Chains A and B, each alone.
Chain A
Amino acid sequence: MDFSAINPALLLASLLVAATPILIAGIGELVVERAGVLNLGVEGMMITGAVTGFIVTIETGSPFLGFLAACAGGAALSFLFAVLTQLALANQVASGLALTLFGLGLSSLMGQGYVGLKPPASPKLDLPLISDIPFFGTVLFSHDAVVYFGFALVACVWATLKFTRVGLVLRAVGENHDAAHALGYKVVRMRILAILFGGACAGLGGAYISLIRVPQWTEGMTAGAGWIALALVVFASWKPWRVLLGAWLFGGVTVLQLNLQAAGFAIPVEYLSMSPYIITIVVLVIMSADKSRAPASLGRPFHASS
């Protein structure tokens, strides 16, 4: 065993990178669920975003366009879900599961010619001076733009939900859609917009895996990240900052166990591999033991009967 091989600064820096995909996908799903919709298709939207982002980046050479395309791809798949559940009033759980399966299949079809290619590297944000600060420079200021975008997104979602009218209406729709309708708010429109936002976030999170974290395309490469994002939202009690905390925790344990594996730690690898899932869920279960609860209309179909 050689613990000295583990560099704390690099460990923390890679924590932020490992946390970013589930953070972005999770915060998108949080908005969807706060609007009262349960979209279990996060995994499918992530992988679709991963493949569309990858293809567009390869074809155009621009990671920026790739990320945009990933958002569009995720949103397009979620639009299917929106039509099914909001307009055709299909069951949300079944539609969400179908969306995941569909996304996995569609992405492997789309990605057939792209296995083994290497995308152009995404430029790191060059922050002179502050990225040279010892330790903190490495941990905080030497990342690509998406890491910072994810952090800003959490702040934006939090502020929007808490301080703006549109956030209030969104929460109202998720809490009691009949009352929101009676007050004259457009329940279905609000929910479709929330679903599209969630889809775009999931797509972006997926593309982060295929373009930066790995970076290459393999089938099924999101490997359950979408499900972790879903679990994050629930165990974070639908609170944005707790999603951030949960994502960091998950990312941190993932990176740590990889380092421990590399250092030859005397625990079977299987236990180390499962540890991020177990630890994240245990911690979030303990945190969610307060009185906060799910949006009251979560998963219930809405039909304006009057």
Chain B
Amino acid sequence: MTGTLLKIDGLTKAYPGVVANDAVSFEIKQGEVHALLGENGAGKSTLVKMIYGLVKPDSGTMEMRGAPFAPPEPRSARAAGVAMVFQHFSLFDALDVAENIALGMENPPPRRDLAARIRETSEAYGLPLDPYRTVGDLSAGERQRVEIIRCLLQDPRLLIMDEPTSVLTPQEVEILFETLRKLTAEGVAILYISHKLEEIAALCDAATILRLGKNVGTCVPSETSAREMAELMVGTELQTPKSAGGEMGEVVLDVSGLSMSSPSAFGTPLRNIHLRLRAGEVLGIGGVAGNGQDELLLALSGEALTEADAIKLKGQPVGRLSPNARRALGLLAAPEERLGHAAAPNMSLTENALLTGAVRKNLENHGFLNWTRTRSFAEEIIERFDVRTPGPENAARSLSGGNLQKFVIGREVLQAPEVLVVNQPTWGVDASAAAAIRQALLDLAAGGAAVIVVSQDLDEIMEVADNFAALNEGRLTETRPTRGLTIEQIGLMMGGAHGMEVAHV
């Protein structure tokens, strides 16, 4: 089957002040996986929302199997065979799996039949699901299964997936790809949005690249290098972060025998962690999500207190100090979750700059805030880190993920830390912004600061880190130089003494 399924011709959609899509045209064939590439804010989401009927195009036409296709609402798009898996899960935590799936269907069968069909379909595609479990109790991978099964039960002809793998472990990604290949073999077309170019090369048959709302080219991902695709997306040559290779100095951070129970009910306790960090060093900490990364960041930043001697900064015990006291001493941290942890969503960028910068940038005087200086600090972050926003008075929520991430990292970097701990610094960030963030971390280390990069992206760690250690069930492996480390060795470090575990399916 090679017929054209969906033909998009000259779609344009403008919002006040910005043209989200400017005369975008391309075709999706039956049974192909078509990638949609672009930086944050390139207009990918708007485009798929138009296909799914959530947004009406200003001009342009779509054709589904030769017939005009202009869905006024998602219901008619679903009726025409379009199904969508959303980037931020569109699930209802308090409802169970079957109810969630029924909400996404036009004419759901009675509950018992539906449950049977969910079991049947989910097992046929290797994504087993219990229809009566409450969605709030499921893991990220399982929640995504719910979304996919919801789509599959409607016999879709086109499945839209918006960054499906950003929350999955490598094993879950493998299972997902198996499922998608099975689907395409049945003639279903998949429109696949992702930042991860290696995935696209492995999975997709064709790719359309958007930049600033325009279609700037198509390519066959398996014949195009990741670098070329990234450059098409960015429009300029991509800068690979380079380390200045500064000398390593004294030990600045000494963690010894750090154990801590997790503050959250489903977390992983830290077990007897030892690490030493020298000035000028970048230490990469890898591991599958949920093996103590969040807890390690909490312990180092001061959000969770430990024994005083477990963490020493330049010989001084800081284990019982609060985050602000640690900031004053030069130990800063940027957590993974941008909205709600690293930044307060409804507060302006200026206010957010104040929240962590008050101590080191002297923005506060006997309880009174110096807004002039805070504002110029926020403006400095925006300028130095190329944060795209109309100005520092905008709410953190209004920024795209990548831009906010640049702001959050920039805020810490510009406070000239002695030790900076970052968790997933480029999660969900496009290629050029990721490169800029990595470069900033390397520059910081070259300037004599010590940096810990906690990340699940091994490529990122290999790119920036001098040394590597892995977290596994709350234990940290020995630190080893990144240079010369093979993927097999890293895999063994991540698997710990248990060897490589197969994911629970």
Residue A296 interfacial (CB < 8 Å): yes
From B55, B75, B78, B93, contact of A306 by CB (8 A): B55
From B90, B93, B95, contact of A182 by CB (8 A): B90
Residues 38-55 of B contacting A (Cβ, < 8 Å): 49, 53-55
Residue A171 interfacial (CB < 8 Å): yes
Residues 79-114 of B contacting A (Cβ, < 8 Å): 86, 89-95, 99, 102-104, 108
Bound form: Cα–Cα A175–B91 in Å: 9
CB-based contact A175/B95 at 8 Å: yes
Residue A179 interfacial (CB < 8 Å): yes
Residue A32 interfacial (CB < 8 Å): no
Q: Which residues of B contact A134 (CB under 8 A)?
A: none
CB-based contact B94/A175 at 8 Å: yes
Q: Which residues of A contact B92 (CB under 8 A)?
A: 171-172, 175-176, 179-180
Known: A182-B54, A184-B53, A184-B73. A168 touches B94 (CB 8 A): no
CB-based contact A165/B95 at 8 Å: no
**Distance from A236 Cβ to chain B, minimum over Cβ atoms (Å):** 16
From A182, A184, A185, A293, contact of B86 by CB (8 A): A182
Q: Which residues of B contact A168 (CB under 8 A)?
A: 95, 99, 102-103
Bound form: Cα–Cα A182–B94 in Å: 17
Residue A140 interfacial (CB < 8 Å): no
Beta-carbon nearest neighbor of B92 in chain A:
A175
Residue B284 interfacial (CB < 8 Å): no
CB-based contact A169/B103 at 8 Å: yes
Residue A266 interfacial (CB < 8 Å): no
Residue B425 interfacial (CB < 8 Å): no
Residues of B in contact with A, size category: 20 to 34
Bound form: Cα–Cα A165–B114 in Å: 14
CB-based contact A296/B74 at 8 Å: no
Residue A178 interfacial (CB < 8 Å): yes
From B49, B78, B90, contact of A176 by CB (8 A): B90
Q: Which residues of B contact A172 (CB under 8 A)?
A: 92, 95, 99, 103
Majority-rule SS of A interface residues: helix
**Distance from A20 Cβ to chain B, minimum over Cβ atoms (Å):** 30
Residue A5 interfacial (CB < 8 Å): no
CB-based contact A296/B93 at 8 Å: yes
Residue A267 interfacial (CB < 8 Å): no
Beta-carbon nearest neighbor of B73 in chain A:
A184
Residues 161-192 of A contacting B (Cβ, < 8 Å): 165, 168-169, 171-172, 175-176, 178-180, 182-185
Bound form: Cα–Cα A149–B181 in Å: 57
CB-based contact B74/A183 at 8 Å: yes
CB-based contact A293/B94 at 8 Å: yes
From B73, B78, B91, contact of A179 by CB (8 A): B91
**Distance from B78 Cβ to chain A, minimum over Cβ atoms (Å):** 8
User: What sequence of 0s and 1s flags, for each residue 288-306 of chain A, a beta carbon within 8 Å of any chain B beta carbon?
Assistant: 0000010110000000001
From B75, B86, B94, contact of A296 by CB (8 A): B94
From A165, A176, A184, contact of B93 by CB (8 A): A176
Residues 184-215 of A contacting B (Cβ, < 8 Å): 184-185
User: What sequence of 0s and 1s flags, for each residue 143-157 of chain A, a beta carbon within 8 Å of any chain B beta carbon?
Assistant: 000000000000000
CB-based contact A184/B94 at 8 Å: no
Bound form: Cα–Cα A175–B55 in Å: 23
Bound form: Cα–Cα A260–B49 in Å: 66
Q: Which residues of A contact B54 (CB under 8 A)?
A: 182, 184, 306
CB-based contact B75/A184 at 8 Å: yes
Q: Which residues of B contact A171 (CB under 8 A)?
A: 92, 94-95, 99
Q: Which residues of A contact B93 (CB under 8 A)?
A: 175-176, 296
User: What sequence of 0s and 1s flags, for each residue 267-301 of chain A, a beta carbon within 8 Å of any chain B beta carbon?
Assistant: 00000000000000000000000000101100000
Q: Which residues of B contact A184 (CB under 8 A)?
A: 53-54, 73-75, 78
CB-based contact B53/A179 at 8 Å: no
User: What sequence of 0s and 1s flags, for each residue 57-75 of chain A, a beta carbon within 8 Å of any chain B beta carbon?
Assistant: 0000000000000000000
Beta-carbon nearest neighbor of B53 in chain A:
A184
**Distance from A185 Cβ to chain B, minimum over Cβ atoms (Å):** 8
**Distance from B143 Cβ to chain A, minimum over Cβ atoms (Å):** 12
Instruction: Please name 29 pairs of A and B residues whose Cβ atoms are closer than 8 Å in the assembled complex, sorted by A.
Output: A165-B108, A168-B95, A168-B103, A171-B99, A172-B92, A172-B99, A175-B93, A175-B94, A176-B91, A176-B92, A176-B93, A179-B90, A179-B91, A179-B92, A182-B74, A182-B86, A182-B90, A183-B74, A183-B90, A183-B103, A183-B104, A184-B53, A184-B54, A184-B74, A184-B75, A184-B78, A185-B103, A295-B94, A306-B54
Closest 9 CB pairs of A and B: A184-B74, A179-B90, A175-B92, A182-B90, A184-B75, A176-B92, A175-B94, A184-B73, A172-B92
Binding site for B on A (CB under 8 A): 165, 168-169, 171-172, 175-176, 178-180, 182-185, 293, 295-296, 306
Other A-B contacts than A168-B99, A172-B92, A179-B89, 6 sampled, CB-CB below 8 A, are: A176-B93, A179-B86, A182-B74, A184-B54, A184-B75, A184-B78
